[in-house]
């Protein structure tokens, strides 16, 4: 789900090191130092200012959401492969997308594309209600285990995110980490009045879009060009 570094993925995809049903644990201050450096050099210097986002990025142990043999690369300025031809996003993209949502403590958020679970953990550091849908059940189960092991309260389910999660709607924020050709109408319908959605859109030429619902009308803004893995499932039809 996740901001895709195609070349990087091709190099490391054969090196995925998650063991079956394993849940990683933290292991030292070196990761914390690297994490703080990541926030300073990759995120703050690129203009992300939301203090809640910055504090969350400083706190969440990104190295625990990647395969074992990817840990040394966890805080680099790159996306990383997580298996199943999916990636964990570049840290700056995670921070930027989160900032665009303008979340508060009482915000209700839906994530489409759980992937590694890292983005969901960032969201959970900021607001109390986070739900996440992952179409690949193996990834959903793994992310759910890691999130629970680290104490994050995120509702994770395996399913096609194209239709959103109507039983939990409406949402103040919706974040999509895979790119459809067009914005799914069910997600627009589940966005609360005044809510925001951040979503990559497009096939060969993708743009990160900020969607806002104002007085029942949808306002769309292009933010930056990006490259995400495609949204699968019903979106492909």
Q: Tell me whether residue 89 is one of the annotated catalytic residues.
A: yes
Cis peptide bond prior to 170, omega within 30° of 0? yes
Can you give the pLDDT at residue 28? Answer: 57
Please identify which of the residues 89, 107, 129, 131 carries the catalytic annotation.
89
Can you give the pLDDT at residue 236? Answer: 78
Mean residue pLDDT across the chain: 90
* Residue 113 Cα distances to 18, 174, 178, 219, angstroms: 19, 11, 7, 23
Closest of 65, 68, 69, 82 to residue 13, by C-alpha: 82
How many domains are contained in the chain?
Answer: 1
Closest of 177, 142, 172 to residue 156, by C-alpha: 142
Q: Is the pLDDT of residue 78 over 90?
A: yes
Q: How far is Cα of residue 138 from the mean position of the Cα atoms in its chain?
A: 17
Q: Token pair for residue 153?
A: 């309260």
| Within-domain flag for 60 | yes
Domain that holds residue 13: 6-18+26-236
| Within-domain flag for 1 | no
Can you give the pLDDT at residue 124? Answer: 98
Q: Is the pLDDT of residue 21 over 50?
A: no
Mapped onto helix, strand or coil, the DSSP state of residue 21 is coil
Rounded to whole angstroms, the Cα distance separating 211 from 11 reads 34
The phi and psi torsions of 197 (rounded to 5 degrees) equal -125, 140
Rounded to whole angstroms, the Cα distance separating 229 from 86 reads 7
Higher pLDDT residue, 8 or 149?
Answer: 149
Q: Is the pLDDT of residue 117 over 70?
A: yes
| Within-domain flag for 149 | yes
| Within-domain flag for 45 | yes
Can you give the pLDDT at residue 185? Answer: 97
pTM to 2 decimals?
0.88
CATH number, domain containing residue 203: 3.40.50.150
Closest of 33, 149, 40 to residue 95, by C-alpha: 40
Q: Is the pLDDT of residue 3 over 90?
A: no
| Within-domain flag for 92 | yes
| Within-domain flag for 161 | yes
| Within-domain flag for 84 | yes
Rounded to whole angstroms, the Cα distance separating 190 from 65 reads 29
């Amino acid at each position: 789900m996740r901001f895709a570094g195609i070349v990087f993925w091709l190099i490391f995809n054969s090196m995925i090191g998650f063991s079956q049903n394993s849940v990683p644990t933290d292991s030292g201050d070196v990761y914390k130092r690297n994490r703080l450096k990541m926030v300073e050099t990759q995120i703050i210097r690129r203009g992300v200012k939301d203090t809640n986002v910055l504090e969350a990025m400083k706190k969440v142990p990104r190295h625990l959401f990647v395969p074992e043999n990817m840990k040394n690369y966890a805080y680099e300025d790159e996306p990383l492969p997580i298996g199943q031809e999916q990636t964990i996003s570049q840290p700056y993209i995670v921070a930027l997308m989160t900032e665009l949502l303008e979340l508060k403590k009482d915000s209700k958020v839906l994530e489409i594309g759980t992937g590694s679970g890292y983005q969901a953990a960032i969201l959970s550091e900021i607001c109390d209600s986070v739900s996440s849908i992952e179409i690949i059940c193996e990834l959903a189960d793994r992310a759910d285990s890691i999130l629970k092991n680290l104490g994050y309260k995120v509702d994770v389910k395996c399913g096609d995110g194209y239709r959103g999660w109507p039983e939990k709607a409406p949402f103040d924020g919706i974040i999509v980490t895979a790119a459809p050709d067009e914005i799914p109408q069910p997600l627009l319908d589940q966005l609360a009045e005044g809510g925001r959605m951040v979503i990559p859109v497009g096939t060969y030429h993708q743009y990160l879009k900020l969607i806002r619902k104002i007085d029942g009308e949808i306002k769309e803004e292009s933010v930056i060009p990006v490259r995400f893995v495609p949204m699968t499932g019903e979106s492909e039809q």
